[in-house]
Structure 1
Amino acid sequence: MASIARRPDGKWRARYRDDDGKQHAKHFDRKGDAQKWLNEVTAAVVTGTYVDPNAGRLTLRDFYLEWKTRQVWAPTTLRAMDTAIRCCTFADTDLAKLRRSHVEQWVKTMTATLAASTIRTRVNNVRSVLRAAIRDRIIATDPSEAVTLPRQRRTEHAMRIPTPEQVGQVLTAAEDWFAPFVALAAFAGLRIGEASAVQVRDIDFLRRTLHVQRQVQNGPTGVEVSAPKYGSERKVYLPDALVTLLAQHIERVGVHGDDGWLFPGVPTSPRNMRRAFDRTCERVGLDLIPHDLRHFYASGLIAAGCDVVTVQRALGHAKATTTLNTYGHLWPTAEDRTRVAAADLMSTALDARGDQLGTAEG
């Protein structure tokens, strides 16, 4: 319900009531301006973009603190979201007053100390809060939309894939207790938290499979055990040599704790496993990180002719697009397949030609 009335002072007062019955009013010098404002409000209501003009007085931080209580998040997601809001320079600004310039200045500030990938993650986390505010009709538009972010290196240039010889060096240099970690990362593609969380009951020696069903992470109060990343619980098919290595490790080194953890610590800290990996690489003069071994595994599957879905499932990616975005440059292109096919044709033709020449000379 809306109306326009002239006040004793000559101004025009436009009024309307929202869906909750709350009255809103605004004064104008001209009746036409009052009617235009009411038309805009009516259009917003009809199109579903109406926002209570008083709702945006809530700050970004206050909205986030209330909104996050309703979210179903893993502990790591909660920590990442808290970090993004904590470092956000406009967290205490009213949502209605947020402008694109606020976000641009925040991004500019972060470029002095953070990597491009970290900046992108934090902006995306804050953007998810802003979009939740839009869905709740707290604000009408997202001030972070289309803000320019620092460029990241192309995946194919940033990715380091060790050679088989380098992986062999690391595995040889690893201490007896640590060698299975290197092998699980390089020949089963496990992430550092997944490999650190393996228990003996996860290994099916008869079927040569490993059930990835948990991960360990460094939390604010110590080591935390949780389910793998979304979509990452899976069965990995192990090569015979890896099954043998794991069996020998259990026989010679043993397992730890009542649950049969493969590595000491019950459970061990990924931070400690990273330190052990760094020491191992130092002994052979290599500059690698554990995730490089996961890339080694993925590249080997692709080189062997595995399709995208097979690699996705082996790595525990939630979506095939994640696999393609990360490793798409490793798959043969149409040009590569054409070149190989043409080479086969030429080889066959040359072999036939040689046979004909040999027969003629005979």
Structure 2
Amino acid sequence: MNVTEALRTWINYREQMARLYLVAGSTVRNQRAITIVLSNGLGDHQLEKLRKSHIELWMGQRLQTCAPVTVRGELNVLRQVLNWCVDEGHLLAKPRFPTLSVANVEADLPSDDAFLWVLAHVPEQHARALEFMMLTGLSPHELERVQVQDGGWSRSPTTPGQNHLLGIGQRDDFPVKQASRKRWVPLNDRARAIWYQATAGYQRTSTVFPSVAAMQKAIRRAFASDTYVPALPGADQVTPKLMRKWFASKVASQQPEHVLQRLMGHAPGSPITRRHYVRSNEGQGRDAVADLAV
């Protein structure tokens, strides 16, 4: 068995798990894309003859064109595949892996003007989806799996009136990676308006928003158009995933961390929230020191 055959066998197994709702379909789709990359670079090697040096040379080639964090994710999938091959008896022992360090430093968040520029220059349905993520903190893969039936009203015993909530992971066919990701997300007035507009006329089981791939394509087209202003700080860094980081940074400036973690579906006390999601931009830095005096 060569590496390509091992990758194909493993991804077929993962797809069976997704059909049984034991793993999120979005996770498997991402893993399938990574296995194609791995197959292109390492696929011809016989599984039992794969060595650390092969992986190290492939890693070096990938780092010529990809960010270290991307390559590390691909290495993690390869490690998972080889561990599975050992468990299934396809391989006696997996080879040692090279070490890849990723700097734990996040770039500054693009300016609010950069986000607004993107919203104004993509098609309406994509702008709605991107803004909805900014207002709710949903991840792109959560957003693309949301159905009409996931939105509803709930009367809180401690709060007068009604709250419009969006259920994430509440359906049997909407699995989440961790228990904390199963949650009810409150919608403010603007998010409710987007929801009503996006769901009007659709059946309960219809998906509401475009796919992640479609949103990314729309943003790339906006950058390639004549209307893009290169001088606008950070606009070309905006991605669908960055909408969730915008949300986290805004909420973090006004609410305790445990509130943000609940909204984002992070476990209480998780270091991931501040390490990877709470960011700042230059304008926030200026505002923070504007009124300081001795």
Q: Do the structures match in fold with TM over 0.5?
A: yes
Cα pair 1:84 1:123 within 8 Å, conserved: no
Change in 2 beyond 3 A, CA 1:261/1:67: closer
Counterpart selection for 2:164 from 195, 208, 218: 208
Change in 2 beyond 3 A, CA 1:84/1:156: same
Cα pair 1:185 1:192 within 8 Å, conserved: yes
Superposed CA deviations along residues 101-145 of structure 1, whole A, max 9, x for unmatched, are 2221222232334332332222221122333345567434x4233
The 1-side partners of 2:12 and 2:144 are apart by 30
Change in 2 beyond 3 A, CA 1:318/1:98: farther
The 2-side partners of 1:259 and 1:284 are apart by 37
Superposed CA deviations along residues 223-275 of structure 1, whole A, max 9, x for unmatched, are xxx7365234432122233324544x36xx93445645545xxxx44333334
Q: Secondary structure at the match of 2:167?
A: strand
- Report the TM-score, using the length of structure 1 for normalisation: 0.55
The 2-side partners of 1:254 and 1:112 are apart by 47
Shift of residue 200, structure 1, vs aligned partner: 3.5
Cα pair 2:168 2:185 within 8 Å, conserved: yes
- Which segments of 5 or more consecutive residues in structure 1 lack a partner in the other structure? 1-57, 215-225, 331-339, 348-362
Change in 2 beyond 3 A, CA 1:284/1:77: closer
Which structure has the highest strand share of the two?
1
Counterpart selection for 2:99 from 148, 153, 163: 148
User: What residue number does 1:305 align with?
Assistant: 255
User: What residue number does 1:86 align with?
Assistant: 39
The 1-side partners of 2:194 and 2:10 are apart by 48
- Report the TM-score, using the length of structure 2 for normalisation: 0.65
The 1-side partners of 2:62 and 2:71 are apart by 7
Change in 2 beyond 3 A, CA 1:173/1:105: closer
Change in 2 beyond 3 A, CA 1:143/1:83: same
The 2-side partners of 1:280 and 1:62 are apart by 39
Residue 215 (structure 2) pairs with residue 273 (structure 1): yes
Superposed CA deviations along residues 277-317 of structure 1, whole A, max 9, x for unmatched, are 4566765744322222211101011111331x433332234
Residue 243 (structure 2) pairs with residue 293 (structure 1): yes
Shift of residue 77, structure 1, vs aligned partner: 4.9
Residue 129 (structure 2) pairs with residue 181 (structure 1): yes
User: What residue number does 1:101 align with?
Assistant: 53
Cα pair 2:7 2:35 within 8 Å, conserved: no
Cα pair 2:149 2:204 within 8 Å, conserved: no
User: What residue number does 1:195 align with?
Assistant: 143
The 1-side partners of 2:201 and 2:109 are apart by 32
1:311-330 equivalent positions in 2, closer than 5 A: 311-317=260-266, 320-327=270-277
Residue 67 (structure 2) pairs with residue 125 (structure 1): no
Q: Secondary structure at the match of 1:156?
A: coil
The 1-side partners of 2:8 and 2:213 are apart by 30
Say what the alpha-carbon RMSD is for the aligned residues. 4.1
Q: Secondary structure at the match of 2:184?
A: strand
Question: Greater RCO between the two (CA within 8 Å, min separation 6)?
Answer: 2
Change in 2 beyond 3 A, CA 1:284/1:246: farther
The 2-side partners of 1:189 and 1:317 are apart by 11
Change in 2 beyond 3 A, CA 1:192/1:67: closer
Output the amino acid matched with 1:187. L
Output the amino acid matched with 2:168. V
- Which segments of 5 or more consecutive residues in structure 2 lack a partner in the other structure? 18-22, 154-161, 230-234, 281-288
User: What residue number does 2:192 align with?
Assistant: 243
Structure with higher Rg: it is: 1
The 1-side partners of 2:36 and 2:218 are apart by 28
